[in-house]
Structure formats: C-alpha cells, structure tokens
Structure 1
Amino acid sequence: MIVRRTIDKDELKELPKTVFPGRIYVIQSEAETERAVAYLQSRPVIGIDSETRPSFTKGQSHKVALLQISSEECCFLFRLNMTGLTQPLVDLLENPAVIKVGLSLKDDFMMLHKRAPFTQQSCIELQDYVRQFGIQDKSLQKIYAILFKEKISKSQRLSNWEADVLSDGQKQYAATDAWACLNIYNLLQELKQTGDWEVSPLTATVSPTEEVIGNKISD
C-alpha cells in the first residue's frame, strides 16, 4: 500500500462518503451506561470522540454534551448532558487494559475533565501516531481519506448536541467519527505488522536523499 503524505481539498470533495456500518445506541440513563460500559470493558481497543454544543455568543461556553465510544460493530453515544460523566465511564477511561484511540484527545479530555476528575490510561493520539507512516495531515477527515479513499461528512459538526432528541444525521455523524478513529488505527496496525506499505515519494523539488520510501516501523 502506498501511504500518501497529504490530500488537497479539491480531491477530498470528489471522494465518496463513508458512514458507520454498525449499530448505534443512544445512552441517556445510568442503567444504560452500565450495560454499555460492561461491553466496552471487554474490548481491547475502542475509538472515542466527543461533541459539545457550539456557542455563537462571545463569552458563552457549554460543557461536553456527548461522548461517543465505538467498537468495530457498534457505537454508543453517551448523552453526558443528561447523565453526567458517571463512575462506569470514569472506570473505562482509567482502565489501562483498554486502548482508547482518538484525534485531538487533549481537547476531548480537557472538556471531559470539566465534568468529572479522572486519569485517562492507554490512549493513542492519531495526530502523532500517523506521522510514523509519513502522513502529514492532521484532520480526521483528511487522514481517513488518505487511507480509505472515502470522506467523512462534517455537515452536523455545529448542530445542537444538547437537543432533546438527536437527529439521525447527528447520530450517524457522531458514530462515524469515533469508529473512523478505530478504523484508522486498525489499518495502521495491520500495515505495521505486515510491513506492506510505502510512503509516497516527495515532490521533485526535494532531493532523493530526503525521500522516505518503504519506511517501516519497528516494534
């Protein structure tokens, strides 16, 4: 597989959209949270992301409203604006046996820490991780496009994540983001194990000695 360093916006626009193919569960009670976390605690790796209601007024801000956590098969949307960050979720975030993969995790955890104190364990920041494979882009949309030749829709990003009922579009958007993080990590782990990848050559303006081709990661 040839891993490209970057992708431009025009090319990104032409790609087909990707959608989360699994089942989506909206979690808005403590009992539902306990059942969902019990399942997630059994997974070796999960994808995570969060959403906060946008503020269009200067000086106004909101607490994180949604924490989405995905396995390969299903994604749970925890409505923190209804339940808060409960102890089962704290236990999951602190569990060193479960790897949490996300993008801009520092921002996500900063917001989550405003809801409850915890010390996150076993986290993979994709912006850092993909650099080992020569990928220079830092947005989830572009990283996903480089690796899967599909684009993630961002049309719901500024919607109201504290709405009484999340729309189908919101649920699909939220689930896709968390699942995409996991999907990226799983593919890169596969490439790392097989060594069957190369970084695309640099432009002609760069000397051949500076090119990184066939770069493989040691364990």
Structure 2
Amino acid sequence: MMDFLQTINKEDLSLLPIEEFPGRVIVVDTERDTEKAISYLSTFKEVGFDTETRPNFKKGQSNKISLMQISTEDTCFLFRLNHIGIPEALEHFLSDASIQKIGLSLRDDFNAIQKRSKLEPKGFLDLQNYVGKYGIKDASLQKIYAIIFNKKISKGQRLSNWEADILSEGQKKYASLDAWACLKIYKQLKAL
C-alpha cells in the first residue's frame, strides 16, 4: 500500500498547480432532463456527489440546497434544485443502495436534502471516514486531493450565488470539479 502524507499545510498547498474538471458539464433544469440524466447515471456503479447552497451572510437565516452535482469520470450533471426541486427520478437514484455515491462531509448534504425532500439517502460513502484507513488525517476535499494527486482545487466560486438564473462558466467548472474529485479520490484509493 502507498504511503500518503497525513496532512498538508497551506503554504505547500498554495504552490501546487490547479486541477480542472476535464469532462462534459450538463446543466439539468427540467424534470424531463432529470429523467434522461438519471437513466444515464444509473448505468454506473460509482459516482461522485456534492451539493451547493447559496451562501448566507445574515445570522439565523438559511437557504435551501440550490445545486446537486453527480459526476462520472467524464460527465458531471448539475441539477438546479432551486428550479426543479428534487424530482421523483432523482429521489429514486439518491435512495438506490446499489449505486455508490461518494461525497465528503455528507451529514451536511443530507440535512440540506431533508429541507427539500423526506427521502432516505442510501448507498453513500463519506470520504472523511474513508481516507483515514490510508493514514490521511486531513478532512477537507482540497487537502485530501492535494495529498493524493499533488494538485489543488480552487475554492474561488464557493461563496457565489448558486441561485443565479444562469450559472457562470466558473460556477459550472467549480461545481463539477468537487463531485468529480470525490469519485477520483475514491477510485485512486480503492485501486491500492
């Protein structure tokens, strides 16, 4: 088994080249497109998973999840939940225990999903729990990715408006990268 750094500091992280999502990005904002996307995604055994919520700068106020990203190795679907909610096809997919959905800090995502749907998420693996088996002590996606691949994930779009009428190219790339990176980390570790 390969030995990884247990942790990486901010200075070393800042020197790494920036990773970019190399695949197709498909924005899903209708129920019909959701059904087509889920039909495709259901052919995979493992997918990367992430969500985005419009940031809140007022104390005591919270927003519902705006975007859900589900990625294969070469395609990431961005479900605009602020436009379509969680359609039935997506609910079934998220409740399907036979498809492994890999994410990070999933408890937060599950809590956010519960504000939109009473579905019971199944088939999820949280990388924060998984990477410890490989000696990695860092828990952030950015640091885990840097430790394994020697590249950094830019967090520049994290606090952008995920409920914008049209997502910018920067938002699409950022959102896709996070879900894809979760899948890539998992596959790399599993291969060891």
* TM-score for the superposition, normalised by structure 1: 0.86
Question: Structure 2 CA distance, aligned partners of 1:110 and 1:60?
Answer: 15
**For this pair of structures, how many residues does the alignment match?**
191
Q: Map of 1:117-196 to 2, 5 A cutoff?
A: 117-191=118-192
Q: Secondary structure at the match of 1:166?
A: coil
State the match for 1:6 in structure 2.
7
Runs of 4+ in 1 over 3 A off after TM superposition: none
Matched, 1:49 2:39: no
State the match for 1:104 in structure 2.
105
State the match for 1:79 in structure 2.
80
Q: Secondary structure at the match of 2:112?
A: helix
Counterpart code for 2:188: L
Structure 2 residue runs of 5 or longer lacking an equivalent are: none
Shift of 1:59: 2.1
- Could you tell me the percent identity over the aligned residues? 53
State the match for 1:62 in structure 2.
63
Q: Secondary structure at the match of 1:12?
A: helix
Structure 1 residue runs of 5 or longer lacking an equivalent are: 192-219
Counterpart code for 1:129: Y
Question: Structure 1 CA distance, aligned partners of 2:54 and 2:108?
Answer: 14
Shift of 1:96: 1.2
CA RMSD of aligned residues (A): 0.6
